[in-house]
């Protein structure tokens, strides 16, 4: 299987540094935060990709390309993005961000989600460097090829 976990080690640190530049005075790390109380009284938690040290800024990062390898609308990717939005809607934070790194995915998702996003979550485009984008595209291509071989 292609190393899609590489995306976490390549993309997320880059985006965290970009967030630190845009939100001066904050540092960001991957962190699990409480969502809602469960029946047993404990809190359910979710791991977010970028959380400021004071938990006031919480972000989910998605480096999806837009169309599938066969050129179709990416229903699975759209579902994953909505899942991230759902968890962001449950967390207690002043600023909630969904960060997309691919311009086509950003524009495509804004088009399909128009009027379907809850209040209080900002969707932002944080483009990758050209070198990092090439690495991400290579990882996506290898993952797509492996999926095709398995089917």
CB 100 within 8 A of CB 64: yes
Q: What pTM value is reported for the model?
A: 0.88
Looking at residue 4, its pLDDT comes to: 62
Could you report the per-residue pLDDT of 46-68, keeping only the tens digit for each?
A: 999 999 999 999 999 999 888 77
Q: State the virtual CA torsion across 6, 8, 11, 16 in degrees, nearest 10.
A: -150
The answer to whether residue 29 is domain-embedded is no
Looking at residue 2, its pLDDT comes to: 46
The answer to whether residue 75 is domain-embedded is yes
Low-confidence ranges of the chain (pLDDT < 50): 1-2
The answer to whether residue 140 is domain-embedded is yes
Residue 53 CA to residue 30 CA, distance in Å, equals 10
Domain extent, residue 104, equals 44-144
The answer to whether residue 95 is domain-embedded is yes
- The residue whose two tokens read 């001066």 is 24
Residue 113 CA to residue 109 CA, distance in Å, equals 6
The answer to whether residue 32 is domain-embedded is no
Question: CATH number for the domain including 102?
Answer: 3.30.750
The answer to whether residue 52 is domain-embedded is yes
The answer to whether residue 120 is domain-embedded is yes
Name beta bridge partners: 57.
Answer: 95
Looking at residue 151, its pLDDT comes to: 61
The answer to whether residue 132 is domain-embedded is yes
Looking at residue 51, its pLDDT comes to: 98
Domain total of the chain: 1
């Amino acid at each position: 299987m292609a190393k899609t976990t590489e995306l976490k080690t390549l993309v997320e640190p880059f985006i965290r540094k970009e967030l630190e530049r845009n939100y001066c005075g904050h540092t960001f790390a991957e962190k699990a935060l409480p969502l809602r109380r469960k029946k047993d009284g404990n809190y359910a938690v979710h791991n977010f990709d970028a959380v400021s040290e004071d938990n006031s800024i919480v972000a989910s990062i998605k480096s999806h390309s837009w169309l599938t390898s066969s050129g179709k609308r990416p229903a699975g990717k759209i579902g994953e993005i909505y899942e991230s939005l759902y968890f962001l809607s449950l967390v207690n934070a002043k600023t909630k961000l969904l960060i997309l790194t691919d311009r086509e995915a950003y524009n495509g998702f804004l088009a399909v989600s128009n009027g379907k996003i809850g209040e209080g979550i900002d969707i932002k485009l944080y483009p990758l460097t050209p070198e990092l984008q090439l690495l991400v595209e290579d990882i996506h291509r290898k993952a797509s090829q492996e999926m095709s071989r398995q089917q």
